Amino acid sequence: SQQGEEDPQALSIQEGENATMNCSYKTSINNLQWYRQNSGRGLVHLILIRSNEREKHSGRLRVTLDTSKKSSSLLITASRAADTASYFCAPKYSGAGSYQLTFGKGTKLSVIP
C-alpha cells in the first residue's frame, strides 16, 4: 500500500527524555505531514515538510526528511506527560489527482512522569 509506515509501533520513555519516531514511505512525495492524536480525539496537525526541505522545527518538535531513503523522523525533545499520544505521518504522494493523504498505524508514545 502507499501509506506511511511509522516505527516503532509503541515507545515508552521517561519525562524529560527525547522521543524519536520514524516514518517510511514508498514513492516520491510532494510533502509529508505529522499529526498527533490523543486518545479517541481528533488529529492535531504538527508539521508539514515539503520534498525540497530537509529539516523543520516547531517548538520542541524537529522533523527531518530524507527523500533518498524515503523516510522522515519526528523528534520530540524534553518530553512531557502531555506528549502521550499516537503520532502519525501522512505522505502526500506526487502525481495528478493524488491529493489524498494516507495514514499508517502510528506510533503510540507513552511519557512516564
Q: Is 103 in the site for other proteins (CB under 8 A)?
A: yes
Pairing of strands 55-58, 5-7: unpaired
Query: What track of x and - describes contact with other proteins for positions 68 through 97 (by CB under 8 A)?
Result: --------------------x-x-x-----
Q: Is 57 in the site for other proteins (CB under 8 A)?
A: no
Strands, E assignment, 9-82:
10-14, 19-24, 29-37, 43-50, 55-58, 61-66, 71-76
Interacting residue ranges for other proteins, rule: CB under 8 A: 3, 30-31, 33, 35, 40-45, 48, 88, 90, 92, 99-106
